[in-house]
Amino acid sequence: MIDIKLIRENPDIVRENIKKKFQEAKLPLVDEVRELDKQNRAAITQVEALRAKRTTLSKQIGALMGQGKKDDAEAIKKESQQIGDEIVALEAEQEKLAEEIKKRMMQIPNIIDASVPVGKDDSENVELEKFGEPKVPDFEVPYHTDIMEALDGIDLDNARRVAGNGFYYLKGDIARLHSAILSYARDFMIDRGFTYYVPPFMIRGQVVEGVMSFAEMDAMMYKIEGEDLYLIGTSEHSMIGKFIDQILPEDELPYTLTSYSPCFRKEKGAHGIEERGVYRIHQFEKQEMIVLCKPEDSMNWYNKLWQNTVDFFRSMDIPVRTLDCCSGDLADLKVKSCDVEAWSPRQKKYFEVGSCSTLGDAQARRLKIRVQAKDGKKYFPYTLNNTVVAPPRMLIAFLENNLQADGSVLIPKVLRPYMGGMSVLTPKKK
What is the extent of the structural domain holding 60?
4-105
430 inside domain: no
Per-position DSSP letters for 44-57, written without gaps between them: HHHHHHHHHHHHHH
142 inside domain: yes
Q: Does residue 89 sit in the same domain as residue 158?
A: no
Tell me, what's the pLDDT at 272? 43
Boundary-marking domain end, from 50, 76, 105: 105
Tell me, what's the pLDDT at 75? 85
Q: Does residue 198 sit in the same domain as residue 101?
A: no
Q: Does residue 155 sit in the same domain as residue 280?
A: yes
Q: Does residue 242 sit in the same domain as residue 320?
A: yes
Q: Which residue has the higher pLDDT, 354 or 69?
A: 354
Number of residues in the chain: 430
114 inside domain: no
Tally of domains within the chain: 2
DSSP 407: S
Q: Does residue 178 sit in the same domain as residue 303?
A: yes
Q: pTM here?
A: 0.89
Predicted confidence (pLDDT) per residue in 4-14, tens digit: 999 999 999 99
Q: Does residue 91 sit in the same domain as residue 229?
A: no
Q: Which residue has the higher pLDDT, 162 or 271?
A: 162
Q: Residue 5: in which H helix or E strand, if any? A: helix 4-9
Q: Does residue 162 sit in the same domain as residue 90?
A: no
In the sheet where 378-379 sits, what is the strand order? 247-249, 370-372, 378-379
Q: Does residue 160 sit in the same domain as residue 78?
A: no
**Can you say how many angstroms the Cα of residue 164 is from the centroid of all Cα atoms in its chain?**
27
Say if residues 337 and 143 touch (Cβ distance below 8 Å): no
Q: Does residue 264 sit in the same domain as residue 385?
A: yes
242 inside domain: yes
Boundary-marking domain end, from 44, 75, 105: 105
Tell me, what's the pLDDT at 23? 97
Q: Which residue has the higher pLDDT, 125 or 75?
A: 125
For residue 429, pLDDT over 80 is answered with no
Tell me, what's the pLDDT at 393? 87
Tell me, what's the pLDDT at 55? 85
159 inside domain: yes
For residue 380, pLDDT over 70 is answered with yes
Q: What is the CATH number of the domain that holds 173?
A: 3.30.930.10
Boundary-marking domain end, from 79, 105, 131: 105
| pLDDT interval class at 270 (50, 70, 90) | very low
Helix (H, G, I), strand (E, B) or coil at 430: coil
- For residues 55 and 193, what is the distance between their CA atoms, to the nearest angstrom? 57
Tell me, what's the pLDDT at 269? 56
Tell me how crowded residue 278 is: count the other CB atoms within 10 A of its CB.
25
Looking from the CA of 88 toward its CB, the CA atoms found within 13 Å total: 6
Say if residues 197 and 258 touch (Cβ distance below 8 Å): yes
For residue 430, pLDDT over 70 is answered with no
Say if residues 209 and 241 touch (Cβ distance below 8 Å): no
110 inside domain: no
**In the predicted model, what is the mean pLDDT of residues 285-289?**
96
Q: Does residue 50 sit in the same domain as residue 149?
A: no
Predicted confidence (pLDDT) per residue in 197-212, tens digit: 999 999 999 999 999 8
Tell me, what's the pLDDT at 268? 66
| pLDDT interval class at 67 (50, 70, 90) | confident
Q: Does residue 71 sit in the same domain as residue 45?
A: yes
For residue 274, pLDDT over 50 is answered with no
Tell me, what's the pLDDT at 419? 97
Q: What is the CATH number of the domain that holds 90?
A: 1.10.287.40
Phi and psi at 379, nearest 5°, equal -150, 165
Predicted confidence (pLDDT) per residue in 319-378, tens digit: 999 999 999 999 999 999 999 999 999 999 999 999 999 999 999 999 999 999 999 999
Q: Which of 363, 211, 382 is nearest to 297 (CA)?
A: 382
Tell me, what's the pLDDT at 28? 97
Say what the alpha-carbon torsion angle 178, 354, 266, 238 is, to the nearest 10 degrees.
Answer: 90
For residue 273, pLDDT over 70 is answered with no
For residue 420, pLDDT over 70 is answered with yes
For residue 69, pLDDT over 50 is answered with yes
Q: Does residue 171 sit in the same domain as residue 100?
A: no
List, in order, residues 6 or more apart from 337 with CB less than 8 Å away: 325, 329, 330, 331, 355, 356, 357, 358
Q: Residue 388: in which H helix or E strand, if any? A: strand 382-389
116 inside domain: no
Q: Which of 156, 197, 149, 157 is nearest to 174 (CA)?
A: 149
Tell me, what's the pLDDT at 276? 66
Q: Which of 275, 194, 271, 268 is nearest to 235 (CA)?
A: 194
Tell me how crowded residue 338 is: count the other CB atoms within 10 A of its CB.
23
